Amino acid sequence: MSKSGYELVLCIVNTGFSETVMNAAKEVGARGGTVIHARGTANKEAEEFFHITIQPDKEIVMILVPEQIRDDVLHALYREAGLKSEGQGIAFSMPVTNVVGLSH
């Protein structure tokens, strides 16, 4: 619940999967997003113990959505780019108090 009526959905995925994320989000009504590059950090010791490697190159997709479709977007991201998929995505939303610049 945020007073502007919008929520910010952030999705952290492996590099190259931002398109998957955007396609999933657009399917349920999101209009556009912004992608920034990032590097993930993992517990080196745990990585060695479990014999897995975590790809450090990440993309963060930021999508502003009306709060009515926020749950749909999060569900879509979980389905299409969740931790069990190749994109290994984590998605969460944050309240937004003021928004300007969106065309209605």
Partner 1 sequence: MGRVKTKIAAAKERTANKKQKPADKNTVSQNRLELLVTIVNRNKTEYYTDLIQSFDVNMQTVMLGHGTADAKMLALFGLNDSEKSVIFGVIQEDKIPEAVATLEEKFKTIKNGKGIAYTLPLTGVIGTLIFGFLSNNRMVKGEQAK
Binding mask 1-20 for partner 1 (x = CB under 8 A): ---x-x-x---------xx-
| 47 neighbors 53 (Cβ within 8 angstroms) | yes
**Residue 3 or 44 having the CB closest to partner 1:** 3
Task: Determine, following the binding rule CB under 8 A, whether residue 64 of this chain makes contact with partner 1.
Answer: yes
Q: What's the 3-state SS for 33-50?
A: CEEEEEECCCCHHHHHHH
Q: Is the dihedral of CA 66, 68, 70, 75 positive or negative?
A: negative
Interaction site with partner 1 (CB under 8 A): 4, 6, 8, 18-19, 22, 31-37, 61-62, 64, 94-103
